[in-house]
């Protein structure tokens, strides 16, 4: 089984000075900033997943790429753009359309030809067929005699459209002589509808199939779909789970034919989750929030309105940064550090009914960054546990990805199978 890391242009600036919170004046993002595979001595994934919707941007979701970056990706190809020759092991690159970016449209905004050209120009190893996501799960629709109107005609047409596009994708892939491996997408709203989509894709000739639209599903619902698919799976056909990890269930997924998956959860939880921000093999910890006075919208509004003093805010902010440094050096106790941190939290968020005192006490007591052998924690020390700004938060996300992959390797022997 293989883990593909979805690209969202998440890089870190190696010149960033965490004590002064300044960057090098000569820093150039594309040239100097580092991808996760350039940070660690052991790469914490088996490949990238690059979405056309992320590269181009669509609708309200703007591109994560500048115009210059998009041109560079298409001109150089993904292997050179991502500098995968710098990785300690060979990485594969998979392309998809990013169906979530145009989910509200009646039809996908791209043509099959445009998608094939994008994958070909980017020099991907795998290319996922153009699809239209279905965000509905109605297992009762599988019951004998179930009413057809349990699933709208619009969603039924989405599934049929996805299959028609997959057929066209495979035909034009062959006619165009593209070198990447085609991956057909199965969409559905129930175990049997997913299985029917897979059956159709196998009949077309697909040997690699991606299962889409399952992100909102509960684990037992995903397993029910995989069991139905497993019943009709042809020997040698490989399956990729789009956007799903569920590490505690991956052995079950593998038993049911899943050979690869992708997920941004380890990275995003570092700065999106309310409590599980820092991964360890045995537990997750809450990162310690020390918001920047100038960078916190709520605090800035209070300062602007005169409700709080900017000078006091800056003093408390500085005190928190200092006490974390002293704590990591062994010159402050857990309770001494906690007192300073909570004074600032009560200042910038006095109305919160859920303070972080208990969670921070656990984080400080265990100080998990001191035990972690990854390069990020070794270099950053206590800065990795501070929730503050993109450079700290993204590095903590990289640590999570590294830790996530380490656990997967232990459970499943990652890096040993073939990709979808």
List the catalytic residues.
96, 262
Quick one: three-class SS letters along 336-395?
Answer: HHHHHHHHHHHHHCCCCCCCCHHHHHHHHHHCHHHCCCCHHHHHHHHHHHEECHHHHHHH
Tokens representing residue 293 in the block: 């006075």
322: enclosing H helix or E strand: helix 310-328
Question: Which tokens is 108 given?
Answer: 């996908």
DSSP H helices, 112-190, are 112-122, 153-176
The span from the CA of 210 to the CA of 32, in Å, is 34
Euclidean distance between CA atoms 18 and 113, whole angstroms: 47
- Whole-angstrom CA distances from 158 to 98, 161, 254 are 15, 5, 28
Q: Can you tell me the distance from the alpha carbon of 22 to that of 24, in angstroms, rounded to the nearest whole number?
A: 7
* Tokens coding 15: 């010149």
Sign (positive or negative) of CA dihedral 53, 56, 58, 60 = positive
Is the separation of the CB atoms in 37 and 90 below 8 Å? Answer: no
């Amino acid at each position: 089984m293989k883990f593909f890391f979805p690209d969202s242009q998440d890089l870190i600036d190696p010149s960033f000075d965490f004590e002064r919170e300044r960057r090098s004046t000569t820093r150039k993002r594309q040239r100097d900033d580092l991808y996760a595979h350039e940070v660690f001595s052991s790469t914490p994934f088996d490949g990238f997943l690059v979405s056309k919707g992320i590269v181009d941007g669509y609708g309200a979701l703007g591109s994560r790429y500048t115009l210059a970056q998009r041109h560079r990706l298409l001109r150089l190809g993904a292997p050179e753009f991502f500098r995968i020759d710098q990785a300690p092991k060979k990485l594969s690159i998979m392309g998809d359309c990013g169906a979530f970016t145009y989910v509200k449209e009646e039809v996908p905004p791209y043509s099959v030809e445009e998608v094939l050209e994008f994958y070909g120009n980017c020099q991907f190893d795998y290319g996922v067929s153009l699809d239209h996501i279905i965000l509905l799960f109605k297992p009762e629709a599988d019951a004998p005699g179930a009413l057809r109107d349990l699933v709208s005609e619009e969603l039924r047409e989405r599934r049929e459209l996805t299959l028609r596009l997959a057929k066209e994708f495979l035909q034009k892939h062959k006619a165009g002589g593209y070198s990447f491996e085609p991956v057909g997408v199965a969409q559905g709203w129930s175990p049997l509808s997913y299985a029917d989509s897979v059956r159709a894709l196998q009949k077309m000739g697909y040997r690699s199939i991606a299962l889409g639209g399952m992100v909102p599903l509960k684990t037992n619902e995903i397993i029910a779909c995989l069991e139905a698919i497993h019943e009709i799976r042809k020997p040698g056909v490989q399956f990729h789970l789009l956007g799903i990890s569920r590490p505690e269930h991956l052995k079950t997924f593998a038993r049911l034919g899943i050979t690869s998956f992708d997920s941004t959860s380890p990275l995003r939880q570092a700065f999106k989750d309310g409590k599980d921000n820092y991964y360890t093999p045995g537990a997750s910890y809450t990162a310690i929030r020390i918001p920047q006075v100038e960078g916190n919208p709520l605090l800035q509004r209070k300062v602007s309105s005169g409700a709080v003093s900017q000078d006091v805010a800056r003093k408390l902010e500085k005190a928190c940064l200092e006490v974390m440094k002293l704590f990591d050096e062994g010159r402050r106790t857990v309770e001494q550090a906690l007192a300073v941190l909570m004074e600032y939290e009560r200042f910038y968020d006095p109305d919160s009914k859920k303070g972080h005192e208990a969670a921070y006490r656990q984080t400080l007591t265990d100080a998990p960054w001191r035990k972690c052998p990854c390069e990020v924690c070794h270099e950053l020390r206590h800065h990795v546990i501070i929730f503050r700004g993109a450079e700290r938060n993204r590095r903590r996300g990289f640590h999570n990805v590294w830790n996530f992959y380490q656990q997967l390797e232990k459970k499943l022997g990652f890096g040993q199978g073939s990709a979808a």
